[in-house]
Amino acid sequence: MKHLIWGSLLAASLSSCSALFGEEVARLPVNAVSTAGREVVRETSLPLRKDDVLAVWSDMDMAYDGEAPVRFQILVLKNGAPFNQLEIDPTEKNVSVGEVKTSLNGKTNWRFSGKNAEVTIPENATYTFKARLIAANNPTLLIKRAEVVLKK
């Protein structure tokens, strides 16, 4: 009986997390900074319906000395034609999960998953999301993980 209760509680807590944070529908593992000589672009296509709301999350793990501004640039295509363009600072988030940030003597280690934006879908179509990561010039910047996560 005890296992049945724990199983029910676990299932209830997981479904409430899904309702609160959304269900992941795509992940774009960029995981590197694009430079003039090396573009790193990841993409995914999703069939979406009118009035769907996609939450754009970032899943980050990085280290750097000083400052290291980073941005995701996301191009959204609707049935292959340009539709929208987003530029997201992954550190500016309105919901954060599992955030750990340590700074010591100017060196920062920072990992988190955070909600950055929402996109409302205007009509039924196939939408393609193309993402790349850009950063200010900082040779100490180490990207361990930099992923765009789309949730419904």
CATH of domain 23-151: 2.60.120
Instruction: Render pLDDT for 67-103 as a digit per residue (tens, 0 to 9).
Output: 889 999 999 999 999 999 999 999 999 988 999 999 9
pLDDT band for 2, please (50, 70, 90 cuts). very low
Give the domain ranges of the chain.
Answer: 23-151
Sign of CA dihedral 137, 27, 20, 101: negative
The pTM assigned to this predicted structure is: 0.85
